[in-house]
Amino acid sequence: MIEAVGLDADDTLWENETFFRLTESGFAELLAEHGERADITRRLYEVERRNLARYGYGIKGFMLSMVQTAIELTDGRVSAATIRRILDLGQEMLAHPVQLIEGVPEVLGALSDRRLILITKGDLMDQERKLAASGLADHFDAVEILADKTPDSYARVLARHGIAAERFLMAGNSVRSDVLPVLALRGRAALIPHDLTWEAEHDDDPADDGFHRLDAIADLPGLIARLDRAR
């Protein structure tokens, strides 16, 4: 019996990566005279990866990494006007409207007999803004915004809510963040792939009985019903 369901937010409940990609395009355009688009986004990705341990996830760290990449890529020749444009791109991201993924409100309604916990990572303020704007907050029994999604951080969430890992299923679009750490605790995980998923979140599908791959979030209630019957 699945007693509690964890749901990732970015690119599971609402669009997110698409806004990062749009901003990345704008960033590459600003620096077009200094390189090919593919090279510029590659350099940006490398800077983001290097900064992850100090900045964590979220738009502010992304903004700082764009500024740093612009300086490095131009050997210090980037103009202040271009850096100002980079800050503007990031500030627009922080204000972007929330676009729900198809079927989300219906699925949350169908799962109202379970404890639903939104489990996300990133900037506190930005995630809270998006949740409020989504209109979905009332569906959730709890909201957990984590610095990172690791076995330890999931274990703390489950302990805080008194949930046994065997009765917990996590659903999200990232093998690395939503699937592997939960399976490590002997919980279950449903991968709901999104067309756009950040490169750092990719990983191979695990060979694990607790792992399920779905086509869309609309398939989640059916999976949970099947898991209930199997026990």
Q: Which is nearer to a second copy, 37 or 85 (CB)?
A: 85
Which residues make Cβ contacts (< 8 Å) with residue 29, sequence separation at least 6? none
Q: Which amino acid is at 140?
A: F
**Min dist. Cβ of residue 224 to a second copy (A):** 25
CB-based contacts of 225-229 (< 8 A; 24+ apart in sequence)? 227/2, 227/169, 227/188, 228/1, 228/2
Q: Which residues bind a second copy (CB under 8 A)?
A: 54-56, 60-61, 63-64, 67-68, 70-71, 74, 76-81, 83-84, 87, 90-91, 94-95, 123-125, 128, 142, 145-148, 160
Q: Which is nearer to a second copy, 116 or 191 (CB)?
A: 116
**Min dist. Cβ of residue 136 to a second copy (A):** 17
Q: Which is nearer to a second copy, 72 or 166 (CB)?
A: 72
User: How many Å apart are CA 218 and CA 231, to the nearest integer?
Assistant: 22
**Min dist. Cβ of residue 126 to a second copy (A):** 8
**Min dist. Cβ of residue 217 to a second copy (A):** 26
Q: Which is nearer to a second copy, 125 or 164 (CB)?
A: 125
User: Which among 88, 126, 114, 92 has a CA at the least distance from the CA of 170?
Assistant: 114
User: How many Å apart are CA 170 and CA 162, to the nearest integer?
Assistant: 16
CA 172 from centroid of its chain's CA atoms: 8
